[in-house]
Structure 1
């Protein structure tokens, strides 16, 4: 049976919203642009629109910070456009540039390290309500975005919100999404062995070989070593032992104890809108409420959003539009990273730990922090009996007892005047704003009674902050358009745009603790208050023009030019031009009589453009830090101190030169469509911070130097294999990108962006290489490439051979080569099923937490070699301490020695070239080969992991109730859906870490795992009704 679709006028004249809200026919575009519909953004119940973009647009890579609705989402388009700065595109809502910056300026971008801010911060795009979006267009290349000049170096996302539509009267729409979130894709822990080290270390700390410590008060006569951070101890077989709190408990595995750190979360989102359109006016008013409880205990968010989109035709020639969005967000206990547990040996815990017990003991009955075994005077009745690793208990006190609250109010709006001056001549003027005000309050409770304070300090703290971020935006556009002849058309436009941004942040906090217990006031500070103040101002304006030409509606040419000035650049060097040109040729219309019948539509396109990326605010200035006269400890006041980086009066913007070509085709009466794009770009004048001697007054200077570039291919395929009663629509997108560094500053051989394990692992940019190469110390090799093993059975180090230096080996690249998505929609009568998978290939990540956890034996894969069942070799230990191999069936050595079954022989050779035959035990193998440290005798590549995956991202099964039923209750439509997000992986190479839990908005921070929070899996339902 054959089915065919006719090409409709809507398809022929599809309109795309481009720069400055200018609408153009899709056929006229000479560059690639991807459009995502409202249904695609909201169908699966995502709490923000950006996380709904996974796999839906070629060339777009999404990274969502773990932590849920309040955590930042980062969008990256077509690889890297800067090696030093964030890659977030420009976001434009109804023609107005809006804030996408992270909280607290640069400090809120989630790029901090182990000793920095541990809260998972959000960013501005989270406030754009997906329920209010009509369409979203991704402008990728420089030609598509050149009218935005230096704001467009990373691409532009243009959002159009919903308006009133014409009907029989006011239309009411109601939607509700409810989902349960679960911690997902957790590590696979082993549930056999408890806390303990290798045999030698166990004996050294007073335990027996297995790791038990003698304890006369334990029913079994021994207890676990609660201070051990490794898990090579005794088998957990239910032995009754005395616990760290003095209770008697079975020594048994707790298979869900890591999962029990967290909880199941819940998201509830409701939206109500009323809309209408008449001959002279239209409006849409909506209200939304989001209640979100994250998987971290005691963390939640409430968000209220109110929006208005209205238009009024004042006269035959003049109309006005008013758009306003108000968002109030309350966040209680913003999610807290877990790197204190994953990246610190004081945070490791055994599988025998019962999380419910710890949740009962992390604080005392009086609300103080848990009492260590050597501080019993604070609370003898509740003090711990034995020493423990403290970070897990401290983590719970920080996240459950202490509180952190944010209250944010945001208003972004615009007003537009449209004036048809005379025939063919139109004017549009627009002014908009984006204002955000935020207050924060943090209460840290006293950890113990003030009677036990140190002489000059207490515990507890109180911190408050206020920040204001505002954007005022305006533009004017004058357009003259007419048909010169029947076949030749043109339009000419000119305009002006201006934007100011102001940012101010103030903070105050107590120092050295609280004087009076848990009295939260700045007046209750034990020491001199700590204060901070930061402010930034930006002014940017530009003039622009564009010329559009078309011939017979199949040949199109557009040219644009923007002249821009920016206050972030030095006065003598702050004006730049950004040109572009693009053209398209619809060859199926030009040669319609000679085209094959199966070819419905064909278009060739080509473009070239220049965009930029300016320096950060004040980066080109010579800055001094103002300090207070008030000092502590009699130190001398320094009123003005030089900043860390010296300015540069000749600094210019980074400039991106990009060209692209593309092909769009549709076949078989639109049953099959293909979109293919090839692009390449060079980004010159990279803004780099070069080191300088501190004696010069600063530690570095910012300069323009270096050049990087990208080459890539984007592929999109859509088809309708079945039409009729049963419909099947499928879409595939694929993008390949390669980012390369062509040059750096003279005399700079490389830039190190991540330096781990005391330089044993580095993420580097070098001229002539792909950006993001990862280098690590190579194990010592012989002339034939074999690993060199010492007499002790372990890899040797250069430290064992004086005069040698470690050798770096390239072990991978941090940037993915391929990203994409695959979606299918099936529908039959009133039922529909939508399935979306996305994928990423070609990158590696650095995870020292995975390396450390492997070295401490917590994962299931570390059972290998621990016994005969898992490949362990049998041996006994002779009087010289040598491990001597035995058959696996042996029960004793030659003279009755104990037989062990946890041996292995590492592949490699001795220094003399002979194969290694030395047996070592499994615990020592993991404990040494995957240890923390910078030696090249360690397995530094054990921290480098391939990160490829194919993920089931969204599933939605929906049913539209019959109209004959819903009409009886006053509805025009009622749809019920079951939804799921982040359900499972079809394939992944990273086993004990979710591929998407890295955080930060820098290109390199998204490839380095420091221990954050688990990913989540969501299940729920939605209801959508119209009246």
Structure 2
């Protein structure tokens, strides 16, 4: 509240500080074709005051009559133009002879891209907003080289994960650090258990929910730009929190000049993007006949019965009957302005989405205020505060969930007839299987998040060679959840229904002080030294209260339960750091950066909590050193070497007692000794990286190539390894193992056509990464990360690749022929798990094309992901129970190609009766080769068509300065061999770095959106 009051006081004084300046306006166009240039930076030289051109290439700014304006735009030569008392200045920018692009780097420092010795890719806020994605991570899909992005599900507000340059840790801590306006923020996805602790059918089952990653709290329309810092050389100044890369978010700020008001409104509709096909040939039963329960009712669990006769047996489509169209609306209002003494920006937004699963929804409300005040020529202040409220009804996924129940439904059952006369559910197979629509309405999981992100800082520049900067930041949120499951459902049948209420509080404080010294050593050699100190503190609290066995039906409250449990946890961690950056530039052509950082982490043993890591990077601009052929516009080579580190979670050193929610004594939970002992000599994980790169521009910047090749070795992995139970523990947390990632990143950009009225821009990005498990601790042969259905297991094995999947395979002879058993079916070797695939892609690629003709524009993004395997647990359920299209192949005689145990060709014909072939785990359907699927895809990720209304329709722009109408679509087309729903979703959620399992979460969607943008 103090921060908010201070900002309001600062911004409230803006009108009093406005100077009597001259109002200057005009239009900026391209000298080549006369087209307006959107987003040109206009700066009053010698100040931080500026503005940008709007959608029509026009600008307005208040400036002193004797000032000079600097016009700069990526790919064009900058111009400095004295005002000389003029009120109208039109400018034509010429295509530049070299690249002067400015990007945001570590600690929010803006630098020329040519000076960097490492890879950085920046995405503009306009590009993000144009995607119409509610989650900023989803908006990056297909746009950034070296990045792997996956959505956890297609539910409203679902989380998304981002992995930069491969998985580097054995655990799940592989997400990059997110920094907003210089302040580190939390981007975790807290899943946790939403099931009873014991005594129900839920024990040993897994339930996930489509909870948001916390970056989803940020309104994409508030973002000015996002910088992706990929390698350790780019992130070293951020320390151990940035070992997996950094995503820098810069929000929009106010500019000096006329107050600008922007209004954006959009409405969208979504539908199921892809679905499996059902068979409508055979109805319920077994071995070709109807079967009945003991009470004489039909046994519907298996669908291997007699044929369906049209007109006599009702046929339903469970998928079409269950899923609905989703709807969304997004509204945002922003107001900004200021003078050369102070600026301000404020925005408000409301987003609301209904999902394709009935009764699912998600809302987000945001409010943001930022401002700057120039107290004197030497001292300025800045600050911002952002509030978000988000949450909704989350469709649960995983075992015994909505999607799990749907995967069992047959075409003979109407799932929309889901409530009996007594108010209880009408479940498939007479209640053995829950009705998914009943689950969606009554088995609920609701969350409500309140979040505040703020910062306040100052910049003091007493001399042109010295600058002091300080920034204090706060990130706080509370996440309240309520899970209600009535009695009578499979998951609650043994506990009489249950309710779980969860309260999560997270708070992060950050303080950063930097001192920047600049010196021109000689006429051609410049140097700068940045020294800094930082303190980061993170506090986490959670309280979980469970109640089981409702006393009164249909009254879902903790006070209406007979048995109660509770859990409470708290943690506190702190990092204190000192860092430095020494930079040299030689004749503005050779740039050398040397960094060093020392962190002290509270989560490590005292003797190992201090650790230092350096980095070095070099950039050589060849085009400024030697004469190159005329078709070269720019040429640079770069290279870097760096180290970063990573600590562990709090309270894992030595032994400790933990709360045992399954052992209540007289209403009070007991405590037990943890089964994990933490190494007293635990060290931080260390990643060492080498990177070389090439940046080339041709034909007056009409063609660009950016290539990076890297290798990263992550040693001293922190993980739990098994130990003998005689020690009193089952696991030992220690340093063990190494992962090596090698990769290639390629970014090609081009402007094939640039005419007077027509322009075509294109870009292609390509990524190939290979992660190898170099070693694990001596004596440990493997690490099992996840055991899925059908024996499919994610394991790490020395010499293997990260993402390898293991399972049971068909027996084969030395020539690779199937060995056919005495029953005529291929035999399965279930004695050991063998490698059967890898969950990660061979490579990914994205291609963006943008076309513009006068005020009309068209753009689309194609995405290609080659390789990767996964098991679809929903498809697995469907095949086992005879409901999918492939199950229509029954009662045929086939001869499987292969050899008998004696090596003779197989000649035995067997009848496929469905039950024998598909139901048994020990038959054909039990082999990983059958249930593991290729998740390669080629998709039209998104497309948009926009039109900028001419000023003649807007009254000359006197009130409405610009207007744009946009039609867009996401996930419009997908081509994949995968048989199930959209294979992009991850069963284990956005917080997991384990891939290869899908099918029991809300499927991916296809969406269409219409939007209107007005600027006043």
TM-score tier, shorter chain, comes to: 0.7 to 0.9
Classify the secondary structure of the residue corresponding to 2:363. Answer: strand
Residues 518 and 389 of structure 1, relative CA distance in 2, 3 Å threshold: closer
CA drift at 1:738: 0.5
Residues 3-82 of structure 1: pairs in structure 2 closer than 5 A: 7-9=76-78, 12-82=99-169
Counterpart pick for 1:515 among 543, 546, 551: 551
Residues 892-931 of structure 1: pairs in structure 2 closer than 5 A: 902-924=892-914, 927-931=915-919
CA drift at 1:726: 1.2
Larger Rg computed on CA atoms:
1
Is 1:91–1:98's contact at 8 Å kept on the other side of the alignment?
A: yes
Quote the residue 2:263 is aligned against: 174
Quote the residue 1:685 is aligned against: 716
Quote the residue 1:575 is aligned against: 610
Is 2:156–2:353's contact at 8 Å kept on the other side of the alignment?
A: yes
Is 1:755–1:762's contact at 8 Å kept on the other side of the alignment?
A: yes
Classify the secondary structure of the residue corresponding to 1:12. Answer: coil
Partners of 2:403 and 2:132 in 1: CA distance? 34
Whether 2:264 is the aligned partner of 1:187: answer: no
Q: Structure 2: give runs of 5+ residues left out of the alignment.
A: 1-30, 35-74, 79-95, 196-201
Quote the residue 2:306 is aligned against: 233
CA drift at 1:16: 1.1
Quote the residue 2:222 is aligned against: 132
Quote the residue 2:874 is aligned against: 849
Is 2:395–2:445's contact at 8 Å kept on the other side of the alignment?
A: no
Partners of 1:187 and 1:562 in 2: CA distance? 52
CA drift at 1:281: 0.7
Whether 2:710 is the aligned partner of 1:660: answer: no
Residues 119-158 of structure 1: pairs in structure 2 closer than 5 A: 119-158=209-248
Residues 402 and 105 of structure 1, relative CA distance in 2, 3 Å threshold: closer
Is 2:368–2:384's contact at 8 Å kept on the other side of the alignment?
A: yes
Partners of 1:40 and 1:616 in 2: CA distance? 36
Is 2:208–2:396's contact at 8 Å kept on the other side of the alignment?
A: yes
Whether 2:853 is the aligned partner of 1:816: answer: no
CA drift at 1:734: 0.0
Classify the secondary structure of the residue corresponding to 2:416. Answer: helix
CA drift at 1:161: 0.3
| Worse-matched range after superposition: 812-821 or 19-28 | 812-821
CA drift at 1:389: 5.3
Quote the residue 2:883 is aligned against: 858
| Worse-matched range after superposition: 277-286 or 988-997 | 988-997
| Worse-matched range after superposition: 427-436 or 186-195 | 186-195
Quote the residue 2:329 is aligned against: 268
Counterpart pick for 2:851 among 820, 826, 829: 826
Whether 2:376 is the aligned partner of 1:388: answer: no
Partners of 2:388 and 2:772 in 1: CA distance? 41
Is 2:481–2:503's contact at 8 Å kept on the other side of the alignment?
A: yes
Counterpart pick for 1:837 among 857, 862, 884: 862
Partners of 2:194 and 2:465 in 1: CA distance? 50
Partners of 2:370 and 2:912 in 1: CA distance? 67
Quote the residue 1:560 is aligned against: 595
Whether 2:976 is the aligned partner of 1:988: answer: yes
Deviations 1:183-229 (A, max 9, x none): 12011222333223333xx37x469xxxxx999xxxxxxx9x44232
Counterpart pick for 2:450 among 409, 423, 426: 409
Quote the residue 1:530 is aligned against: 565
Classify the secondary structure of the residue corresponding to 2:810. Answer: coil
Partners of 1:1014 and 1:669 in 2: CA distance? 45
Partners of 1:232 and 1:570 in 2: CA distance? 64
Classify the secondary structure of the residue corresponding to 2:826. Answer: coil
Quote the residue 1:643 is aligned against: 674
Count of residue pairs brought into register by the alignment: 917
Partners of 1:1010 and 1:347 in 2: CA distance? 9
Whether 2:199 is the aligned partner of 1:164: answer: no
Classify the secondary structure of the residue corresponding to 2:235. Answer: helix
CA drift at 1:543: 0.2
Is 1:833–1:958's contact at 8 Å kept on the other side of the alignment?
A: yes
CA drift at 1:121: 1.6
Quote the residue 2:946 is aligned against: 958
CA drift at 1:351: 1.6
Is 1:194–1:234's contact at 8 Å kept on the other side of the alignment?
A: yes
CA drift at 1:626: 4.0
Whether 2:646 is the aligned partner of 1:604: answer: no
CA drift at 1:335: 1.7
| Worse-matched range after superposition: 466-475 or 79-88 | 79-88
Residues 56 and 166 of structure 1, relative CA distance in 2, 3 Å threshold: same
Partners of 1:796 and 1:446 in 2: CA distance? 43
Quote the residue 2:804 is aligned against: 773
Classify the secondary structure of the residue corresponding to 1:291. Answer: strand
Whether 2:750 is the aligned partner of 1:719: answer: yes
CA drift at 1:991: 2.6
Deviations 1:409-435 (A, max 9, x none): 100010011000223111000101001
Partners of 1:445 and 1:849 in 2: CA distance? 24
Residues 843 and 387 of structure 1, relative CA distance in 2, 3 Å threshold: closer
Is 1:67–1:335's contact at 8 Å kept on the other side of the alignment?
A: no
CA drift at 1:51: 0.4
Partners of 1:68 and 1:937 in 2: CA distance? 30
Whether 2:510 is the aligned partner of 1:473: answer: yes
Q: Structure 1: give runs of 5+ residues left out of the alignment.
A: 208-212, 216-222, 240-250, 373-385, 799-804, 867-900
Quote the residue 1:883 is aligned against: none
Residues 163 and 815 of structure 1, relative CA distance in 2, 3 Å threshold: same
Partners of 2:411 and 2:743 in 1: CA distance? 46
Is 1:62–1:74's contact at 8 Å kept on the other side of the alignment?
A: yes
TM-score (norm 2): 0.86
Q: More strand per residue: 1 or 2?
A: 2
CA drift at 1:808: 4.3
TM-score (norm 1): 0.85
Deviations 1:320-356 (A, max 9, x none): 001110001241x212226437996996121232333
Partners of 1:1002 and 1:104 in 2: CA distance? 8
